[in-house]
Structure 1
């Protein structure tokens, strides 16, 4: 009898775990194709395979169910490896990988990071519905700090309200 309960418990907990919402990541090309059908803002998680903070952000921030749900509802979410060797075509431009010694970087990563003046990982980049860069944000951002940022961008608050003013008035309960 106890074996029966144990099996049911394991089945239910597995179902619960798999039912948790995850970010629907796509390639840049897939996001552009989806955007052409239904325009939406785009969030780009620019990372590298060797970046420990990128992995931590994947687990803690993007692994947060309410963050994932909000991103899925309001953005097309793109995972972009800044060391990818695949060409990207965007706005009649071709962006490629540039080899430098044993490493290198992608020209598209440079384009996305122009406002920062440097490459840094992770970097989150937001594009508006016209595919213009709203803002790149470099460095690890935990879920508590990330919630007001995505709410600020998704709601278009960045168009009228300075960030510091918005941040002071943000009520996390609105996000949930």
Structure 2
């Protein structure tokens, strides 16, 4: 009986470890500049918030997306919380949270990355290796749209 328990625990641990290693881990925005200095790649940013249900759905879709898992080493994926209270240095400039009331506000970086568009969550932004914006899409991307974006990125990488 003890042998069976140990075997079951071992199988659970092995499955959990395999699942954890398959998780796509975003790059923290604070590390992006140093990573880009060492190995420039396109940057795919997901601007989200903790309270946004569509953002949570998008993050779940990313974890389930096989193409994203296969190709995520070709670009830097950043999940940036637009309501983060942390100061962030991005391209040598410091950005901070701007309060707009009690427990309300937006991070300057989210606003800057969003350009002239009104900010909404989630928002996808694709930057090339020189930080130039190539694509900006507010709202939830369906899995087919995400795959199409990955295909465009792959083609762009192969032509450069």
Alpha-carbon RMSD: 2.4
Distance 1:114 1:6, change over 3 A: same
- Alignment correspondent of 1:57: 58
1:50-82 CA-partner distances (Å, limit 9, x unpaired): 1001011111233324312312x2111112110
1:144 deviates by: 2.3
Contact 2:83–2:105 under 8 Å retained in 1: yes
Question: TM-score normalized by structure 2?
Answer: 0.82
Instruction: Give the secondary-structure state (helix, strand or coil) at the position aligned to 1:25.
Output: coil
Residues 27 and 79 in structure 2, CA contact (< 8 A), matched pair in contact too: yes
- CA–CA distance in 2 between the matches of 1:8 and 1:94? 47
Aligned residue pair count = 155
Work out whether residues 84 and 106 of structure 1, in 8 Å CA contact, stay in contact via their aligned partners in 2: yes
Structure 1, gaps ≥5 residues long: 160-176
* Counterpart position of 1:162: none
Q: Distance in 2 between matches of 1:92 and 1:6?
A: 51
Q: Is contact 2:97-2:106 (8 Å) kept? A: yes
Contact 1:23 1:69 in 2 (8 A): no
